[in-house]
Amino acid sequence: MQTPRKIAVVGSGLVGSLLAIYLRKAGHTVHIYDRSPDIRKIQFSGRSINLAMSNRGWKALDGVGVGDAVRAIAIPMKKRAIHLVDKLNFQNYGQEGESIDSISRGILNRKMIDLAEAAGAEFFFEHKIWDVTLENATLHIGETERGAWEDKKYDMVFGADGAFSRIRHRMQRQSMFDYSQEFLPIGYKELNIPANGDGSHKLDKNSFHIWPRGEYMLIALPNLDGSFTCTLFMPFEGENSFDSLKDRKSVEAFFEKNLPDTVDVIPKLAEDFFRNPTSTLVTMKCFPWTYEDKVALIGDASHAIVPFYGQGMNAGFEDISVLYEMIEKYGDDWKSIFSEYQKSRKQNADAIAELSYRNFLEMSSKTADENFLLQKKIEKSFSDKHPEKWIPLYSRVTFSDRPYTEALAIGDYQNAIMEEILKMENIKEIWDSEVVEKTILELLK
């Protein structure tokens, strides 16, 4: 057990709430601040992408005994349902028994706050943190940025306040603080497939549905109530873009032409389209993540990534697992806890940022690339024959808790091998042959 401290967590999102549970377990007083109202008492924002919980997320939840409470609101997705314009294909995610789990962000967030309160954390909603004094972990709270502020001093402050973190904003103004924010030229918009009258799902319930269309795509993830939360990813500008879909008519025509099998299942298409905001996608990196033994960033506040690997929440939860490892290792030495935590996590955050960005590139430019599709087929075929010798990158990221850096490095190594294989004569004809299999085995030596 550590010496009990008075700790503030800024941000009552998924990472802030789970962190609070862990800190309570370690015996600390925990106050959670959020500028927004209690999400349990308001409607959701209409700007959510459903979450896909995978191995790293579950590990962090189970590590503090709340996994089962979350499993109760999760729907396993064992496969991708790939909606082409004229047909529907299914593709398993992993081996038998492996799945990722669909959870509504809003419902999970409510649950996590309940769990954190039950663990003894105290929440302060509608408290706006405008600044922090790093040297003495003091929060500055007030109605407006330029108005009167109240100061609250803590032993420690965690910034779990997301990609546009105020806590980081202060750290950013220190010398020697590296920082970058980079927006994608594509945005996203939430849409909805409601349940059938009897509460059942209109599409296969245990699938991650995807309509890949090159530069844009639609996905749909199942909810407990029979509905699906859909997300349309699309460039802001250009031919097929948010910019080009200005009115009801153009939206409906676009869906009829390009996403014909959604027309019957998204009844309020135009209504949702123009009511829900178009949100941006940003990759944010920074370093350092901590200030002495006083302040630490965690989750999106330290490493916001684009959502194309489904790892944003999982990576944030893994931050907490690693922080807790350091707590167990270093006891009351918070300087070492913070410094080892950031050292361990920074490289892995960079790796999953890179992998997520590459997935965006793959989806937007490579899905139509013949060589790319051929490579995927060869990898799949080889991996089926030699599962111990070729774990696909997706599985390393999703169904393992080995470091993201390792997944990235091995993925690059596998890609280099595939580059050689694709150079083989007649590879298009012989891709499934024994010759190819043997060549891969040779190259793996």
Nearer to its own copies (CB atom), residue 180 or residue 200 = 180
**Smallest distance, Å, CB 254 to its own copies?**
23
Nearest alpha-carbon partner for 141 in 280, 253, 32, 256: 32
Alpha helices for 85-146 (secondary structure H): 105-118
Euclidean distance between CA atoms 183 and 10, whole angstroms: 24
Q: What is residue 141's three-state secondary structure?
A: strand
Nearer to its own copies (CB atom), residue 260 or residue 277 = 277
Euclidean distance between CA atoms 234 and 242, whole angstroms: 7
**Smallest distance, Å, CB 161 to its own copies?**
15
Nearer to its own copies (CB atom), residue 290 or residue 395 = 290
Nearer to its own copies (CB atom), residue 11 or residue 63 = 11
Nearest alpha-carbon partner for 218 in 188, 185, 254: 188
Nearer to its own copies (CB atom), residue 98 or residue 131 = 131
Instruction: Map tokens 């250009």 to a residue.
Output: 238
Q: At what angle do helices 105-118 and 14-25 cross, to 10 degrees?
A: 20
Euclidean distance between CA atoms 258 and 251, whole angstroms: 11
**Smallest distance, Å, CB 41 to its own copies?**
27
Instruction: Map tokens 């690339």 to a residue.
Output: 369
**Smallest distance, Å, CB 47 to its own copies?**
13
CB 371 within 8 A of CB 422: yes
In total, the chain counts a number of residues equal to: 445
- Based on its alpha-carbon atoms, the radius of gyration of the chain, rounded to whole angstroms, reads 23
The contacts of residue 445 (CB under 8 Å, 6+ apart) are none
**Smallest distance, Å, CB 165 to its own copies?**
12
**Smallest distance, Å, CB 179 to its own copies?**
5
**Residue numbers of the site for its own copies (CB under 8 A)?**
146, 172, 175-183, 280
Other beta carbons within 10 angstroms of residue 127's beta carbon come to 19
- Cα-based torsion angle of the residue sequence 409, 281, 238, 273 in order, rounded to the nearest 10 degrees: 130
**Smallest distance, Å, CB 281 to its own copies?**
10
**Smallest distance, Å, CB 186 to its own copies?**
11
Nearest alpha-carbon partner for 349 in 288, 425, 421: 288
Helical (H) or strand (E) element with 343: helix 334-361
Nearer to its own copies (CB atom), residue 130 or residue 255 = 130
Nearer to its own copies (CB atom), residue 48 or residue 206 = 48
Nearer to its own copies (CB atom), residue 23 or residue 171 = 171
Nearer to its own copies (CB atom), residue 87 or residue 146 = 146
**Smallest distance, Å, CB 142 to its own copies?**
10
Phi, psi of 87 (to 5 degrees): -155, 170
Other beta carbons within 10 angstroms of residue 279's beta carbon come to 16
Q: In Å, how far are 262, 263, 270 from 246, measured between CA atoms?
A: 19, 18, 10
**Smallest distance, Å, CB 285 to its own copies?**
8
Nearer to its own copies (CB atom), residue 282 or residue 424 = 282
